[in-house]
Each structure stands twice: as C-alpha cells, then as structure tokens.
A = this chain, B = another copy of it.
C-alpha cells in the first residue's frame, strides 16, 4: 500500500525523523515531543505535527509520541520494514566508501552486488562483496535486485543508469552531479554534496 497523499517534502523528512527517533531510542528515551524532534532535525514543531498527521500519528497531550511505535509506523510507510538488496556500480574511492558505510543496516539496506568497469577489480572482494564486471549488469534482473547506487564518474553515469533501468532497477541513488534521465516509473535520488554544503555559509555569521 502506498499513502499517495503524502507530499514529497514530507517523505524527504520521514527518514530524518526516523534517524532522530533512532538516536533518542539509543539514549534510552521511550517518548518524545514534536518540539524536541523539531530541534533535532531543524524544522518547526508545527511542521513535525503536520508531517505526522498525514499518516495519522498524533502525539498524546503530556507524553507526546511513543518512540518505538512511531519508528515502526514510519518504517512501514517508507517500506523499510523489509530488507532491500542493493547493487553498487563503481568501486572507486566513493564506491569503496559506500561499501564500508555502516549506516545502511538500520534501514534494512544490504549491498550484495558491486560492479566496476576496471577488469583488474573484477573478482576482488571488498567488504564481503565480490566486484563483477559492468558487462554483467544485465544479469541483475535475475537477482531480483531493484535498487542501485551509481558511484561512477559523471561521464559514465547516464549510460550506467540506462543499463540499470534495462535490468529492471526501479530506484537509483545517484552520486554524480549529472541530471540523470530515466523513465517516469524509475525514481532517482541524487546526492550532490556541494548542494548540501551550499547551505553552510548562510548560517555562518
């Protein structure tokens, strides 16, 4: 089931709330308020309440939101309540860092396949994943993996995206600053670290 009425901007914030709830849980807290959550993720508390109201999560007066229940509810909406196998394309510095990244596990992501165009890398095992040649990308369809990470140079990004789409991938996390073109049925999220960095000077008085 998909809750079609949730705006994109709310969907963007839901994983951020999830991370904040995760941190609060680790700190031993059982409940939290929209004000505390808002502080942690740098939005207004009315925004938190509005975002949660889209899926019917309302804090109780006095005690606020129960953390474990809210985490489960957000994970279900985001379809993070099942494990997602992920393919990585590009095992250079960035791709290697992605393979080493410990932050995926709490969301149920598991990188199980990695591809690189460098023949010298094929067959090598990096963080328990054996690197394969990009020529084998078309075999992705058989594996049932429909989520992929693109960590290749900008000049190769569109071509890799095309191959991933052909292999049945439905969601792409793209690290190239390129505006990747894909069919409407495929969702691309681009991480452009410069765009995130570009907010910093505004706040530096």
Contacts and interface: CB of A to CB of B under 8 A. Distances in A.
A135 interface: no
Interface stretch (A29-37, A58-66, A95-103, A115-123): A95-103
Q: How many monomers of this protein are in the complex?
A: 2
9 contacts: A2-B202, A9-B47, A11-B202, A15-B198, A18-B195, A93-B100, A97-B97, A103-B177, A187-B204
A11 B100 CA distance: 31
Interface residues of A, number: 65
A199 B102 contact: no
A96 B67 CA distance: 38
Interface of A: 2, 7-9, 11-12, 14-16, 18-19, 23, 40, 42-44, 47, 77-80, 84, 86, 92-94, 96-98, 100-104, 106-107, 109, 146-147, 149, 154, 170-173, 177, 179, 185, 187, 189, 191-205
Contacts of A80: 198, 201
A8 B48 CA distance: 13
B43 A199 contact: no
Contact of A199 (B2, B12, B201): B12
A43 B187 contact: no
A153 to B, nearest CB: 9
Nearest to A179: B23
